[in-house]
Structure 1
């Protein structure tokens, strides 16, 4: 009998959504975002909180989580992913939860960083 998969990629489509880079201020954020956009030929999109280089790099305007920044992981099923990670001792920070209009979770951070990076799950 085949054992069920324990691979989060297979279980709930885990993949890197983006890497978040912390900047000290708006000027530094613009410089970083522009450099990543030029490096990879990606369009730059500005939001009130951050600047995106494509969807791969999010440069925070001086308000980023994590000592070194953050890593966003996309999953197809946040509740399933949360349960999977909780079974491994990783708790989410409920105060970070962002909801979609239908009440489902769009984004939630884990309580503990890994190697100085805050980690969050996101779902479309």
Structure 2
């Protein structure tokens, strides 16, 4: 990696893979099956639109984003990462910007404007 790599600059790494389901019941069922398959516990569900299989898979219960689902990428400084991508002409879907629940006004999550191979991709802050 080089200093121009977001992996190096922002400790970018895959947070989770997102699977689209059409209802809360379907999402729960998919998450439970994945937990059984992977031998993991259900993850925390900070948002009412998804069910997590550990931290590996987020099953969206509202149809989700992306034709085939989504990929969540963690970064250690989301504002700097957004600025870095924007300086290279990569656009974000501002309608997707979600603020931190702590009331700080900081960005917690934002999707890139374009899908790649049918997957929506978002940045989120690492815990």
So what's the TM-score if we normalise by structure 1? 0.88
Q: Distance in 2 between matches of 1:58 and 1:76?
A: 20
Q: C-alpha distance in 1, partners of 2:63/2:118? A: 15
The answer to whether residue 5 in structure 2 is matched with residue 7 in structure 1 is yes
Structure with higher Rg: it is: 1
State the alpha-carbon separation in 2 of the partners of residues 30 and 68 from structure 1: 18
Aligned residue number for residue 117 of structure 1 = 119
| Segments of 4+ moved more than 3 angstroms | none
| Residue correspondences, number | 121
- Cα RMSD over matched residues? 1.6
Q: Which residue of 2 aligns with 1:75?
A: 75
SS in 2 for 1:17: strand
Q: Is the strand fraction higher in 1 or 2?
A: 2
Which whole-Å CA distance do the structure 1 matches of 2:10 and 2:89 have between them?
18
- Counterpart in the other structure of 1:97: 97
TM-score scaled to structure 2, two decimals? 0.86
After TM superposition, the structure 1 stretch with the greater mean CA deviation from structure 2, 39-48 or 53-62, is 39-48
